[in-house]
Amino acid sequence: MKIYLETSVINFLFAEDAPEKMKITEEFFNIIDEYEVFISDIVLLEIEQATEQKKELLLNVIKKFKIKALESSEQIEKLAEIYVNEGIIPKKYINDALHIAIATKYKMDAIISWNLTHIVKFKTKLQVKKINEKLNEKDVIICTPEEMVY
């Protein structure tokens, strides 16, 4: 099973202000080797925007778990624009649309995220599924680390 990790998943390994999600994320990383795990250049870009100390922690997780990075493309950007134009993801949060588009275009089985505002929510799941079906794209399951663990 191929899974795509959105940036929030790696971040929550260090979210001491959210101990329950941090614990679940740690449990998820205990079973992560059961999957083929990917991130993208967008995740790396978002990590680059972190403080130096946080950036080092996040990059060490990627190295430790041998997570492979995928590249964006013009096709991915076009699909992300469709998600935005259809009102699924606000234009201001184009990176969230790019995460979903990358997972879709690279035919991931799932995208894992703690972003409950734009990615892991009923409306997004429903509309992404509808658009992907219309465009003959592979359906990608959108879920939290909690859903992967329990």
**What's the pLDDT tens digit per position in 97-150?**
999 999 999 999 999 999 999 999 999 999 999 999 999 999 999 999 999 998
pLDDT for residue 113 = 98
pLDDT for residue 150 = 87
pLDDT (mean) for 20-41: 97
How distant is the alpha carbon of residue 56 from its chain centre? 19
Query: Is the predicted pLDDT of residue 36 greater than 90, yes or no?
Result: yes
Contact 113, 120 (CB under 8 A): yes
Contact 22, 14 (CB under 8 A): yes
For residue 76, what are the contacts with CB-CB under 8 A and spacing of at least 6? Answer: 98, 101, 102, 105
For residue 115, what are the contacts with CB-CB under 8 A and spacing of at least 6? Answer: 6, 8, 96
pLDDT, tens digit (0-9, with 9 covering 90-100), for 40-84: 999 999 999 999 999 999 999 999 999 999 999 999 999 999 999
- Residue boundaries of the structural domains of the chain: 2-149
Give the CATH architecture of domain 2-149.
3-Layer(aba) Sandwich (3.40)
pLDDT for residue 25 = 98
- Residue 37: enclosing H or E segment and its boundaries? strand 36-40
